[in-house]
A and B are shown apart, each in its own frame.
Chain A
Amino acid sequence: MNPHPDLTSEVIRGIGWLYLLLFAMNAFWTALAFKKKASLSSVAAWAIYTAILGMVGIAHVTGGAQPEHFLIRMPEWFKSIIDAGAKPEIYFTLSLLLFCAVIWLRETLVKPTVAWVVLNGMILFMALSMTDYDFRQIVGKPDNVPIVAMLFIVAFFTWLYFKRAVDNDQRIAAGRPLFEQEDNDKVLVWPDLVYTEMICMVILTAVLVLWGTVLQAPLEEPASASRTPNPSKAPWYFLGLQEMLVYYDPWMAGVVLPSVILVGLMALPYIDFNKKGNGYYTFNERKFSILTFMFGFLPLWIGLIILGTFLRGPNWNFFGIYEFWDVHKLEVLNNVNLSEMVWVNQLQQPLPVAPADAGIWTKIGYILLRESVGLVAVVLYLGVLPMVMAMTVFRKFFMRMGFLRYMVFANLVLFMACLPIKMVLRWSLNLKYIVAIPEWFFNI
């Protein structure tokens, strides 16, 4: 008997409840559509879809057949395609494409029906994927449950933002007053706000109590200095940082970049010169700021948390969501420093090494000579590139901001860009470090 069966009767019943939940949601949706006098054909379509869901759900919950013969499961060909594409570069590219698509199609996506269809798709995908043993292992881990919830929550709040922003943008384009001005019925803190807060508090407490009761705490074996769990994962909210550490030295990914993130967020009010969008949702009036922030938040932070949670397995190798976590999975990750590329590969000579009896200054000179290409690249990137950008893409920004403010802004942008740049360099050129001076613990 297979110790890791894809399906057991228990799992099927559990998935059945998920389908029934979806059924209830869609019954409500159909009723709403009917009430709002949507076209008969669309109401009928929703009704049929809901009926199918209901039947599927009932079949799951009441069925007594052998689980091995159960047919409603994720098809194998789909799983193998997903697993075959399980590479960080593909994942990151897809997340960028999704990001662009959301921006591009925002006016379509904010329509309630479209959003509802997307939500249905997400839940159906979850339900079908749950029929896979390895997927259940990853998603069902008590550690990872909040991240599954986070997927939905982030999607919802992004959708909500775009809905309000698109609405306001259309109002601005049509010359109508903003939503916030037109619908500015003020309510009282007491009782309106305080009651809302109290209800939220009660619900949240109930959810937490339920959660704490139902899901066991994911405790592991006693800690030991000489044993590291495999894989060893940071708390979920730090998985973005952990992913950053794959590409950078600890002091860079653990100290410099997080500090830059924090300081940069604090500096935003002083950098931003666009007075629009103050007190109301908008996208078109603040395109650059919003795109920059969203890029940093969605693909670079949330995206990397999802990557770290679901796609990183033993030995920090990359695994597909339906793939078995094989400790011995072999991934070729050989990588080399820029200095080795230049000296060994291009100039066909060994790395410059100071003679054994050289003085301290000679040694420093040799190290700097060895890393000269990388050092020049870094100086160009942080020192010269801002000037170039000021003369080209950021000309208007430079005019508005003045030198100092512009340099702060440009360096923050460049620091944000350095993570994806390093990722791409690692994937394409197997580049380990641009500047590698392990003697001084200085690697970029």
Chain B
Amino acid sequence: MSIGGRFVSDESKGGAPKKLSTKDILAMARAQASGGAPAPAAEQPAPAATPATPAAAPKPAAGKKPTSTAEILAAARAQAAGGAAPAAAAPATPAAAPAAKPKPAAGGAPKSTAEILAAARAAAGAKAAGGAAAPAAPAATAKAPAAETASAPTGDAPKVSLEAMLAAVRPATAAATAAPAATGAAPAAAPAKPAVAPPMPAKPVPAAKAAAPAPDAGRRSLVMALLGTPIAMVGGLFSSAFSAAWTFLAATTGIATLATARFMLPNVLTEPPRKFKIGPPSDYDLGTVSTKWVAQYGIWIVHTDQYKGKNLIYALASVCTHLGCTPSWLEGERKYKCPCHGSGFYVTGINFEGPAPRPLERVGITLSADGMLEVDKSLKFQEEMGQWADPASFYEVVG
């Protein structure tokens, strides 16, 4: 209610130039109230909307944009005050709108709300306290007079509503002053509310639903359900700009995720193999660190007897355990030294200076059948986990 009221008052305030401002309406209303006579009322609205013409003018406009609420209000008020029956034709058009589309919430909401409100207010203006609480729920539930129009939907709407409006107008011409006194819809409804109680028709049934149960054949309804549900579901995804936006977002995200997943499985892998041969053990002299595989495979081949006194050949991954830079082997200092944060490792791979928290990692190494050492980079052996004891992490030189 309050939303509708604000909406209408906003529109009447700042619409097209020819619209009446709230002030004007107030002035009009006051003039009416004080004069009480139909004559001034007829005069007042004349400059703005001309009470005579609206009867003709708004009517064809029913399909188009809403004739300004202000106009309608003015017209309604003028007619209510004057009690002139033909003038009621003007409010009739807006009243027709809710009747014609019983589910206004789905469609062009602002338009119908404005129109319905206008119509309802006209009715309220006419009937005033006479149970004209229509504005209370403009879109969803049409009450009192609006309900009457809704009960006879889809058909010859303008005519029916015209009658209804006429009926509504007739009883309370004098009371009309009550409504114009308030500019917004809210105050108009407030006094009207207490009287609302009795006639509460059910919500107007949406057209589609109403159509379904009507036919006799059960088979047809089944078909409708089978076809209609998916259509309704798909339609629901695009029913408004908002849901369409979410639908598109979800679709785009889904496609992007699939593309990413596909990206993980490239057609061609240009990485060096994980498993490769590095020559016979005799290529690696005791006490040396071979750097010849660093550029290609990222490993050092170490032949040393400094780790637990055993004569071992093993492969160390050339990745610093601090932050992953590639340390360089400094032959003179007999250590691996990381250029990023200064971590240092002994020839065995054990960390001893800088921030590296753990030794370099070994990768798998075995002697293959042809007498070549074979490195398997898919295996990792961490000293701090006790994995360097694993025989797959070294090749022990015998003799």
> Is B341 within 8 A of A245, CB to CB?
yes
Which of A22-30, A35-43, A200-208, A313-321 has 4 or more CB atoms under 8 Å from chain B? A313-321
For A213, list chain B residues within 8 Å (CB).
none
Q: Is A60 an interface residue (CB 8 A)?
A: no
For A327, list chain B residues within 8 Å (CB).
330
Which of B160-168, B212-220, B319-327 has 4 or more CB atoms under 8 Å from chain A? B319-327
Chain B residue with the shortest CB-CB distance to A247? B355
Bound together, the chains give a CA A433 to CA B318 distance in angstroms of: 23
> Is B333 within 8 A of A328, CB to CB?
yes
Q: Is A443 an interface residue (CB 8 A)?
A: yes
Bound together, the chains give a CA A361 to CA B344 distance in angstroms of: 33
> Is B354 within 8 A of A231, CB to CB?
no
For A230, list chain B residues within 8 Å (CB).
328, 339
Looking at the assembled complex, report how far the CB atom of A236 sits from the nearest CB atom of chain B, in whole angstroms. 15
Contact with A226, one of B294, B323, B341 (Cβ below 8 angstroms): B294
Looking at the assembled complex, report how far the CB atom of A325 sits from the nearest CB atom of chain B, in whole angstroms. 12
Chain B residue with the shortest CB-CB distance to A442? B357
Contact-residue bracket for chain B: 20 to 34
Q: Is B358 an interface residue (CB 8 A)?
A: yes
Contact with B339, one of A316, A356, A436 (Cβ below 8 angstroms): A316
Which of A128-136, A155-163, A264-272, A329-337 has 4 or more CB atoms under 8 Å from chain B? A329-337
Bound together, the chains give a CA A245 to CA B341 distance in angstroms of: 7
Q: Is B230 an interface residue (CB 8 A)?
A: no
Q: Contact string, A236-278, partner B, CB cutoff 8 A, digits 1/0?
A: 0000001001111110001000000000000000000000000
> Is B339 within 8 A of A315, CB to CB?
yes
Q: Is B269 an interface residue (CB 8 A)?
A: no
Bound together, the chains give a CA A248 to CA B328 distance in angstroms of: 21
Contact with A316, one of B296, B297, B338 (Cβ below 8 angstroms): B338
Q: Contact string, A410-444, partner B, CB cutoff 8 A, digits 1/0?
A: 00000000000000000000001100101101010
> Is A228 within 8 A of B340, CB to CB?
yes
Bound together, the chains give a CA A250 to CA B323 distance in angstroms of: 6
Bound together, the chains give a CA A432 to CA B355 distance in angstroms of: 7
Contact with B357, one of A254, A315, A443 (Cβ below 8 angstroms): A443
Bound together, the chains give a CA A44 to CA B296 distance in angstroms of: 69
Max count, chain B CB within 10 A of own CB: residue among A245, A315, A316, A356: A315
Q: Is B337 an interface residue (CB 8 A)?
A: yes
Q: Is A232 an interface residue (CB 8 A)?
A: yes
Q: Is A2 an interface residue (CB 8 A)?
A: no
For A247, list chain B residues within 8 Å (CB).
355
Q: Contact string, B326-354, partner A, CB cutoff 8 A, digits 1/0?
A: 11101011000111111010000000111
> Is A314 within 8 A of B339, CB to CB?
yes
For B297, list chain A residues within 8 Å (CB).
226
Q: Given A250-B323, A316-B340, do A328 and B330 touch, yes or no (CB 8 Å)?
A: yes
Q: Is B10 an interface residue (CB 8 A)?
A: no
Q: Given A232-B339, A316-B340, A316-B342, do A226 and B326 touch, yes or no (CB 8 Å)?
A: yes
Bound together, the chains give a CA A356 to CA B387 distance in angstroms of: 11
Bound together, the chains give a CA A224 to CA B344 distance in angstroms of: 21
> Is B358 within 8 A of A334, CB to CB?
no
Max count, chain A CB within 10 A of own CB: residue among B298, B318, B332, B357: B357
Bound together, the chains give a CA A224 to CA B318 distance in angstroms of: 13
Q: Given A232-B339, A315-B339, A328-B332, do A436 and B357 touch, yes or no (CB 8 Å)?
A: yes
Looking at the assembled complex, report how far the CB atom of A253 sits from the nearest CB atom of chain B, in whole angstroms. 8
> Is B322 within 8 A of A224, CB to CB?
no
> Is A248 within 8 A of B355, CB to CB?
yes
Bound together, the chains give a CA A245 to CA B321 distance in angstroms of: 13
> Is B339 within 8 A of A229, CB to CB?
yes
Bound together, the chains give a CA A229 to CA B340 distance in angstroms of: 9
Chain B residue with the shortest CB-CB distance to A254? B323
Main secondary structure of the interface of A (DSSP, over half): loop
Chain A residue with the shortest CB-CB distance to B342? A316
Looking at the assembled complex, report how far the CB atom of A202 sits from the nearest CB atom of chain B, in whole angstroms. 40
Q: Is A105 an interface residue (CB 8 A)?
A: no
For A333, list chain B residues within 8 Å (CB).
342, 344, 353-354
> Is B332 within 8 A of A232, CB to CB?
no
Q: Contact string, B281-318, partner A, CB cutoff 8 A, digits 1/0?
A: 00000000000001111100000000000000000001
Chain A residue with the shortest CB-CB distance to B323? A250
> Is B341 within 8 A of A246, CB to CB?
yes
Q: Is A71 an interface residue (CB 8 A)?
A: no
Max count, chain A CB within 10 A of own CB: residue among B330, B340, B358: B340
For A231, list chain B residues within 8 Å (CB).
339-340
Looking at the assembled complex, report how far the CB atom of B322 sits from the nearest CB atom of chain A, in whole angstroms. 6
Contact with A224, one of B295, B330, B385 (Cβ below 8 angstroms): B295
Q: Is B47 an interface residue (CB 8 A)?
A: no
Q: Is A227 an interface residue (CB 8 A)?
A: yes
Q: Is B156 an interface residue (CB 8 A)?
A: no
Looking at the assembled complex, report how far the CB atom of B315 sits from the nearest CB atom of chain A, in whole angstroms. 14
> Is A246 within 8 A of B353, CB to CB?
no
> Is B333 within 8 A of A245, CB to CB?
no
Residues in B53-91 with C-beta less than 8 Å from chain A: none
For A433, list chain B residues within 8 Å (CB).
357
Q: Is B384 an interface residue (CB 8 A)?
A: yes
Bound together, the chains give a CA A333 to CA B330 distance in angstroms of: 15
> Is A316 within 8 A of B354, CB to CB?
yes
Looking at the assembled complex, report how far the CB atom of A201 sits from the nearest CB atom of chain B, in whole angstroms. 37
> Is A226 within 8 A of B357, CB to CB?
no
Looking at the assembled complex, report how far the CB atom of A234 sits from the nearest CB atom of chain B, in whole angstroms. 9
> Is B386 within 8 A of A356, CB to CB?
yes
Q: Is A65 an interface residue (CB 8 A)?
A: no
> Is A228 within 8 A of B326, CB to CB?
yes
For A81, list chain B residues within 8 Å (CB).
none
> Is B342 within 8 A of A249, CB to CB?
no
Looking at the assembled complex, report how far the CB atom of B173 sits from the nearest CB atom of chain A, in whole angstroms. 59
> Is A249 within 8 A of B355, CB to CB?
yes
Chain A residue with the shortest CB-CB distance to B321? A438
Chain B residue with the shortest CB-CB distance to A243? B341
Q: Contact string, A331-348, partner B, CB cutoff 8 A, digits 1/0?
A: 011110000000000000
- Closest 3 interchain pairs by CB? A316-B342, A438-B358, A230-B339
**25 contacting pairs across A/B (C-beta < 8 A):** A225-B298, A226-B296, A228-B327, A228-B328, A228-B339, A231-B339, A231-B340, A232-B340, A242-B341, A248-B355, A249-B355, A250-B322, A250-B323, A316-B338, A317-B342, A328-B330, A328-B333, A333-B354, A334-B353, A432-B355, A433-B357, A438-B358, A438-B384, A439-B384, A441-B357
Given contacts A245-B341, A248-B355, A438-B357, 19 further A-B contacts (CB under 8 A): A225-B298, A226-B295, A226-B296, A228-B338, A228-B340, A245-B355, A247-B355, A249-B355, A315-B339, A315-B342, A316-B340, A316-B354, A327-B330, A328-B330, A333-B342, A333-B354, A335-B352, A335-B354, A443-B357
Where the two chains meet, the residues of B that have a C-beta atom closer than 8 Å to any C-beta of A are 294-298, 318, 321-323, 325-328, 330, 332-333, 337-342, 344, 352-355, 357-358, 384-386
